[in-house]
Amino acid sequence: MNIQLNTNLLKIFTGTYATLWGEDGYQEDNQGALGYMEFDSGALMNSIIEAYRDNQEEIIQDMGVSFVKSINIESSWSSPKEYNFSTDTFDFTLTIDNYGMIKALDDLDGDQEFQGWLRDNFTDRDGFWSWTPSNYNDLSYEIKNSGDYYEQSIGALVTYLTDKKENLSDIEIKMWEYWQQNGYYGMEYTVLYSLQNKETSETEDYSTEAILEMVNKNSGGLVYDSDNWLEGLGDIGFEYIKPF
């Protein structure tokens, strides 16, 4: 059977806000200058999803949950207007062997570790209202009877069984490393360098294109390019400032 979940219910991705995906990125050019990567949030999410989609079989293997047969990650995503209470998510469909899922669920009946995990993660508390059952009996009922919290309950079960083998956060780290190593999956971005005006001491960020336009305009016939623009900064009264 197929069931649609999202990354709120099964956290193979934790969003771009205050996570490794949203960390400030820097690139070093051929001169050793570090520039800050500026990119559109939509372009970031699209590139992330493409990286996940290209690794769907590996994700299932890493999860190691026998009754989860495949994952189909959709190309759509959503982001909140404010990140106070939610984050970026995308949807996906899991193909599940229902018989195998019920057997795995029955095998956890009386498992005190599982019971404690449900209690610790899904009990209501100040500032947190859970839509996932916090005890085995309720969770088992929801799954076996396709209750109101069916998807949440399956997400909790798969999360627990995955974390017994490999934490979901490890899967996300693998995806992030793959995304980085493959050129940010075609994401368009601009690299900005911090330059200080020697006369005013003001610091501002400039793209390589803007810097080349300034230095070549005032170079007295010399031609600078992306490999030597640092040498031309003195001619225009600017100094490169390292970001850290």
pLDDT at residue 213, rounded to an integer = 93
Q: How many CA atoms lie within 13 A of 204 on its CB side?
A: 10
pLDDT at residue 16, rounded to an integer = 93
Q: How far is CA 188 from CA 8, 40, 183, in A?
A: 27, 8, 10
Q: Where are the domains of the chain?
A: 2-24+39-186, 191-240
pLDDT at residue 158, rounded to an integer = 97
Q: Specify the length of the chain in residues.
A: 244
What tens-digit pLDDT sequence spans the chain (244 residues)? 999 999 999 999 999 988 989 766 888 999 999 999 888 889 999 999 999 999 999 999 999 999 999 999 999 899 998 888 889 999 999 999 999 999 999 999 999 999 999 999 999 887 777 899 999 999 999 999 999 999 999 999 999 999 887 789 999 999 999 999 998 988 988 999 999 999 999 999 999 999 999 999 987 888 999 999 999 998 899 999 998 8
Q: What is the rounded distance in angstroms from the CA atom of residue 98 to the CA atom of residue 67?
A: 7
Written as one string, the DSSP assignment of the chain is -EEEEETTTS-S---STTSGGGSPPEEE-TTS-EEEEEE-HHHHHHHHHHHHHTTHHHHHHHH--TTEEEEEEEEEEE--SS-SS---EEEEEEEE-HHHHHHHHHHTTT-HHHHHHHHHHHS-BTTB--SS-SSHHHHHHHHHTT-TTHHHHHHHHHHHHHHTTS-HHHHHHHHHHHHHHTGGGG--EEEEEEEEETTT--EEEEEHHHHHHHHHHTSTT----TTTHHHHGGGGTEEE----
Q: Report the candidate in 48, 18, 72, 60 with the shortest Cα–Cα distance to residue 178.
A: 48
Asked if 43 and 21 count as a contact pair (C-beta separation under 8 A), the reply is no
* Cα angle, residue 155 at apex, residues 157 and 99 outer, rounded to 5°: 55
The sign of the CA dihedral 114, 109, 165, 103 is negative
- Taking each helix axis from N to C terminus, what angle separates 168-181 and 150-163, rounded to the nearest 10 degrees? 80
pLDDT at residue 167, rounded to an integer = 85
pLDDT at residue 11, rounded to an integer = 95
pLDDT at residue 23, rounded to an integer = 67
The pTM of this model reads 0.83
Q: Report the candidate in 198, 176, 157 with the shortest Cα–Cα distance to residue 63.
A: 157
pLDDT at residue 178, rounded to an integer = 95
